[in-house]
Amino acid sequence: MSELTLTLIKLGFLALLWMFVLAVLSVIRSDLFGAKVDARVAAAPVAQPNGRTPKPVKPSKKKKGQPGSVTIADGPQAGVGATLGEQPVVIGRGSDCQIRLDDDYSSTRHARVFQSEGEWWVEDLGSTNGTYLDGQRVTRPVPAEIGGSIRIGRTTLNIAK
Amino acid sequence: MSIASTSVIQIIPRSRRGVELMLLLIAIGVSVGAYVNIGITVQDKVPASTGYYAAGIGLLAFIAHMALRYRAPYADPVILPCAVLLNGLGVAMIHRVDLGLAIAAEARGATPRAPAAPQQITWTAVGIVLFLVVILVIRDHRRLQALTYTAGLAGLVLLILPLVPGLGADINGAKIWVRLLGMSFQPGEFAKLCLVVFFAGYLVVKRDVLTLAGHRFLGLDLPRARDLGPILIAWGVSLGVLVFEKDLGSSLLFFGLFLFLLYVATERAGWLLIGFLLFAGGAWFAYGTFGHVHKRVEDWLNPFNEQGVGQVANALMGQAWGGVLGRGLGQGRPELLGFYGQSDFIISSFGEELGLTGLIAIILVYTLLVERGLRTALGCRDIFGKLLATGLAMSFALQVFVIVGGVTGLIPLTGLATPFMALGGTSLVANWAIVALLLRISDQARRPQTPAAPVSDETIAMAVQKQ
């Protein structure tokens, strides 16, 4: 067999091998960027333009001014929440969190809401993308007040009575 | 800072099985292409066995694909094609070295050894059967967590098995083989799988304690002295494998896996420092005490010493001869490494015939396999699954690093099987089981989650009032 044919076969095979690698890369790329989005949900009007509309407050017998619950405000998990009792409430993607988020942008143990000296505090647990209370990044424990909104990744949680 | 949008975009999960089928077709095409190419260049004709080879590998891949379609529809679409490609290329190269050895034997007037490629295809079939068993039997990887300590015990027993008198066999200086029914097995390959399950299950429970910081040193939080027990035990067992079985590769693999999972579970870089110090101490001890380790290091530092050309030197010469584009399949001389050109040094055979260009592609395929494993760990919702997927993916990464690093002269050579490629039944079968487990976890991780039932305001108010 001629030298030229052998060289062509050699280069052809290398090209074929690389084609596989590139095909895999393009599949991974489309998995990252080309995900189908549910048009109905994406086009739904943004209900809370600023993300800080407080939830309608129900009358309760609790001491005035003390937050009583943290609830996810919107999205498929809207309404999921936890009441603030003695135990701190951990929010994140992990299975051991009291509020489990289905949000790729949140960390496994993202933030916690806890009681100290008669007040409630929001603390970031070293998350990757940060925790925001009323638009301000939480760098140290900050007091949580009724009507405040916590943003974690793409999820907003409301603090209510 | 104002919040731009609060709407949660709902992504529709796709099963991606069609994409997997397409990638599988390319992978099979590349493998069959390699086989035909070898036939043309070595024997000057398209080999008659091409049909059998293509049908065999195609059928096996198709069976695995259909199992995923029915039992793990949301599994990662990239993992299976990568594994099939590596396996197919491996068989093609083993066949190529078979041909080379047969020609060399003929020239010497000796009878050629029985070809190894058909044997490897048989083992691939066994591997696919185990793949099916894992996919069909393990419906939820979280059930494995209950078997944490059983898996740990099984792993230890498998590790010790080659040392049992009458059962173990000493092949090429390492006591890692077990002879049974006229065949030899490497139980260490399955021990790897069991130990990853054990490490993951154990660290899920203990990671909170192991995360506690002790002294601060050079900006690193070192763990407390009383928590050093587990890592010292892992180190001791690894050294034991080195001392009694003379197997450098497995010893390195087990300690590396434990250290890496410990780091991932606790997020404490201090463990890496301690682990590295322990490793350095062990390596120094082994270098000074064991002749075979000493020789490996000498071969690495001076591959072209005066006492004749060793395997490493042969492999380096072959890769240098291959250059950037390689000699072309069937046009190198990988058979000069003998049997090792099919097993430990198969990467060097590829380096010689496909060159740097081909070798990079092969290493990229391994990288993609590992990347998808780590991606699975990221997406997985439970901690056990995360650690398990990380451990399985890292077992590939460590193995490829150790063997490719050894063959290319980056680190001293240690005998570990090149996953999916190297000749060796146990390793191939165990790797198919690992891939099946990874796919099972990724199916769980990528499957759409049923949204939690919303809690109405009234329920919350009532809950608040109850307190």
Query: Which pair of structure tokens corresponds to residue B432?
Result: 């198919």
**Measuring CA to CA, how many Å separate B190 from each of A76, B105, B138, B426?**
42, 35, 17, 8
Which amino acid is present at B389? A
Q: How far apart are CA A138 and CA A125, in angstroms?
A: 10
Q: How far apart are CA A88 and CA B199, in angstroms?
A: 30
Arithmetic mean of pLDDT, B211-226: 66
Answer whether B357 sits within 8 Å of A77, measured CB to CB: no
Lowest mean pLDDT of A46-50, B14-18, B64-68, name the range.
Answer: A46-50
Q: Is residue B453 part of a domain?
A: no
Q: Is residue B1 part of a domain?
A: no
| Total domain count, chain B | 1
Answer whether A10 sits within 8 Å of B325, measured CB to CB: yes
Arithmetic mean of pLDDT, B63-83: 93
More confident residue, B82 or B212: B82
Task: Please give the pLDDT value at position A53.
Answer: 46
Q: Is residue B6 part of a domain?
A: no
Per-residue pLDDT of chain A (161 residues; tens, 9 = 90+): 788 888 999 999 999 999 999 999 999 888 776 555 554 444 444 444 454 444 444 444 444 567 888 888 877 777 788 888 777 888 888 877 888 888 888 888 888 888 877 788 888 888 888 888 888 888 888 888 888 888 888 888 888 87
Q: How far apart are CA B348 and CA B354, in angstroms?
A: 10
Arithmetic mean of pLDDT, B181-198: 83
Arithmetic mean of pLDDT, B137-143: 89
Nearest-CA distance B226 → chain A (Å): 26
Q: What is the DSSP letter of A41?
A: H
pLDDT digits (tens, 9 = 90+) for B287-339: 888 877 888 888 888 888 766 567 888 889 899 998 899 888 888 888 888 77
Chain B positions in Cβ-Cβ contact with residue A68 (cut-off 8 Å): 464
Write the residue in B8, B34, B368 that is nearest to A154 by C-beta.
Answer: B8
Give residues with Cβ within 8 angstroms of B455, minimum separation 6. Answer: A71, A79, A80, A81
Residues 21-60, chain A: which have Cβ within 8 Å of B? 21, 23-25, 27-28, 31, 35-38, 41-42, 44, 46-48, 50-52, 55-56, 58, 60
Q: Is the CB of residue B120 less than 8 Å from the CB of residue B420? A: no
Q: Is residue B425 part of a domain?
A: yes
Domain hosting residue B319, numbered range: 17-445
Give B116-120's long-range contacts (Cβ < 8 A, gap of 24+): B116/B342, B116/B423, B117/B91, B119/B423, B119/B425, B120/B90, B120/B91, B120/B94, B120/B423, B120/B425, B120/B428
Sheet holding A89-92, edge to edge: A99-100, A89-92, A111-116, A119-124, A142-143
Query: Which pair of structure tokens corresponds to residue B320?
Result: 């240098």
What is the interface pTM, i.e. ipTM, of the complex?
Answer: 0.85
Query: Which of the given ranges, A65-79, B62-76, B228-242, has the highest pLDDT on average?
Result: B62-76
Give residues with Cβ within 8 angstroms of B321, minimum separation 6. Answer: B327, B332, B352
Nearest-CA distance B159 → chain A (Å): 34
Q: Is residue B455 part of a domain?
A: no
Q: Is the CB of residue A133 less than 8 Å from the CB of residue A42? A: no
Nearest-CA distance B17 → chain A (Å): 12
pLDDT grade, residue B217 (50/70/90)? low
Nearest-CA distance B378 → chain A (Å): 9
Answer whether A31 sits within 8 Å of B361, measured CB to CB: no
| pTM of the predicted protein model | 0.77
Q: What are phi and psi of A91, to 5 degrees?
A: -115, 135
Q: Is residue B10 part of a domain?
A: no
Chain B positions in Cβ-Cβ contact with residue A160 (cut-off 8 Å): 460
3-state class of B221 per DSSP?
A: strand
- Whether chain A has a CB inside 8 Å of the CB on B23: the answer is yes
Nearest-CA distance B1 → chain A (Å): 5
Query: Which residue of chain B is at minimal alpha-carbon distance from A19?
Result: B26
Task: Please give the pLDDT value at position A68.
Answer: 80
Residues forming beta bridges with residue B217, ordered by sequence position: B220
Nearest-CA distance B45 → chain A (Å): 10
Q: Is residue B331 part of a domain?
A: yes
Chain B positions in Cβ-Cβ contact with residue A71 (cut-off 8 Å): 455, 460
Query: Which residue of chain B is at minimal alpha-carbon distance from A48?
Result: B6
Task: Please give the pLDDT value at position A20.
Answer: 95
- The closest of A71, A96, A90 to A155, measured between CA atoms, is A71
Q: How far apart are CA B35 and CA B442, in angstroms?
A: 32
Q: What are phi and psi of B178, to 5 degrees?
A: -125, 130
Query: Which of B1, B2, B7, B40 should be substituted to probe chain A, the one whose Cβ sees the most A Cβ atoms within 10 Å?
Result: B7
Write the residue in B19, B85, B458 that is nearest to A20 by C-beta.
Answer: B85
Residue B396 has pLDDT above 90, yes or no: yes
Query: For chains A and B, what is the number of CB pairs under 8 angstroms?
Result: 187
- The closest of B393, B326, B390 to B360, measured between CA atoms, is B326
Residues 326-365, chain B: which have Cβ within 8 Å of A? 326-329, 331, 354-355, 357-358, 361-362, 364-365
